Chains A and B, each alone.
Chain A
Amino acid sequence: MNNQLLRLGSITKSFGKNEVLKDISFCIESGDVLAVMGENGAGKSTLMNIISGTYDNYRGSIYIDGVHESFTNPKEAEDVGIVMVHQELSLIPELSIAENIFLGSEPMSYGLVDFKEMNARAEEILCRLACHIDVNERAGSLQIGQQQIVEIARALAREAKILILDEPTAALTALESDELYKLTADLSSQGVGIMFISHRLDELFSVANKVIVLRDGHLVVQGLIKDYQEPELIEYMVGEEKSKSYQRKSHVIDKRVFCVKNLETTKEYGKLKDISLDVHEGEILGLTGLLGSGTGEVLKAIFSAVPSHVEEWSLQSGQYDLLYKDKPRCPQDAISQGIALLSDDRKGDGLVIQQSLGFNLELPTLSELRSVWLDNSTAQSQSLLKKFSIKCENIDQAVDKLSGGNQQKVALAKWIPLKPTLLLLNEPTRGVDIGAKTEIYNILAELSKTGVGMIIASTDLPEIMSLSDRLLIFKDGLIQAELQPEDYTQQAILTLAQVESPSVDTNNNKQGVRH
């Protein structure tokens, strides 16, 4: 079958002086699932933005069904069947699911929106996606995984021939991801061409049949994915020496720094109940579970960013040799006890994104200054930049101009001058490329060597398994089990995390540990 849906002919794109894409050519046939790989900054999103019509200032040509097209805006691309599902979900929470699916292309009759027709067609599309939810429900009430499906339904409602999925599983749990893989397979068997962008190699191997790898704007690999091995592809993505993986070494010292008993929160804040945990000096305690199991909320509750109740609290602050017996009342208080939180949403609540690097790096330290005046702490910030190898032009560069990995390093680095006793990390490498991931892991190892206790919440199983010295499995706001490193297997963790569904299916068995 030689049914070329999309063919790119030597696409080149430059921003100002630097070329971000050089001479990219490939094609997608009907039913292909193309894995698009590359580190952040390799040019993936630029390429996708060109295909989906966001950028119109490029050289080279795009052929859809053999017809030369040049889009000036995303609407034109949608009209010929190219739809992109962005990483940040963009449903309007106050509208119903059906209204979201047909937003901008509502079926009309006599100049009014035909809700009957709309709901019927929405149901039909969701049916095709094997998803049975009430189309009259508010989109805001859906789980993130379901929202993703609605986004895809929206693409199908526009009769997408080529679907671009930008890190669709970044916010999904293992189970939800499985659903999405099945969906992808279904769609491709219906003849839709799919471009699947992801940092998770294991999933790309299970969903895709073709692969392209971008590095520094060049197309370095193009072909059938079954011809390649994971390590090979990693090497192509990051270059040679960086591809060495992270090896955990335990630095646990048998001295308890933190202990909390019977932590509880209300339903709004994760419905936590009976959470008792302790952390030792230099220990990395992992928390994992399905999305919504409450791991992130535990961190927020400990940091006192959300209201909670505890029965007992003790924090041994190593730096001042003080013992805190009272739960802090607010983040400010928590910080002064020596607790720091790396938020899971660096753009939403981790960084002041439009401000400079220096501004962000100094922010938590400001309240520790003795004087009302600012002293120039650029020297300190400079040394942080070096220590965390944050790539930037200079200290005054705005943070939103940095890549995701570098932003995350800034969000982590800003806490270091405070010398935290207890570091809470919520999804520390979400949306971060492999190179930066390894660097962050090494930084964490370095910190644990200096005796910092850490609690990491992550739904990325390979990550949490390779990082933590001890692992707590969460389900519905309760601790299900505690695992020691020798008992870590994905199978065991998933079974504990979702007791009622034992069918952790074949897909998961295929997933090897990354790196």
Chain B
Amino acid sequence: MIVIDHLTKRYGRTLALRGVDLTVGRGEAIGIIGPNGAGKTTLMAALLGLIDPSEGTVLIDGCSPHSLTTKRRTGYVPERIGFSRWMSGRQLVTLHARICEVRDRHAVESMLDRVGLDRAAWDRPLRKYSRGMLQRTALAQALIGSPDVLFLDEPTSGIDPAGAIRFREIVHELKAGGVTIVVNSHQLDQMERICDRVAFLRAGRIEAIECVRGEERLEDIFLKLEGAVA
């Protein structure tokens, strides 16, 4: 589904990504972990077609992430909520539904219900939302076009425990439906519960890729890898 081949990204003299190779299968959830400045957000931006690689390629189901075909099939929850805060949650999700040409008239309401956004908040401006409410709205806009690939950048930061549980349930439903998920997060316990594999990124390079379903806890794997490369 996603094939990353020798992906390199330079910003002037700084190498943000150094020859990243990664393949993610359909219906698989992969986590990207690593210390701050490891290149996680740059990798996510390259996967989303927001930046051009200096070298290497990214293919999503054989297409470039820049192509409109790919963009029709992807959803994105950004790390920083850079929405137009004058809008309400309902207006934002409606706007993205219209851009994605979603025909179902009730899709927006059912999506806001699905992510558990309080109905009383639907028509309130986003500037009055808490961080957790913004994250739920972000998830709703990402899911509105029924994406085949979902990119989640710190999706549960600021979400309350009930929201985090709902988020996990949604991710499991999506995975069962064959949706490929790429998650970038520092919350290792969340990653452990939703990801099949994790890629450990450090200084722009993938140091290791580990399966999460084993006996060993992700935190221990993380600490071991941190120690090994330090």
The answer on A and B forming one complex is no
Which A residues lie at the B interface, using CB under 8 A? none
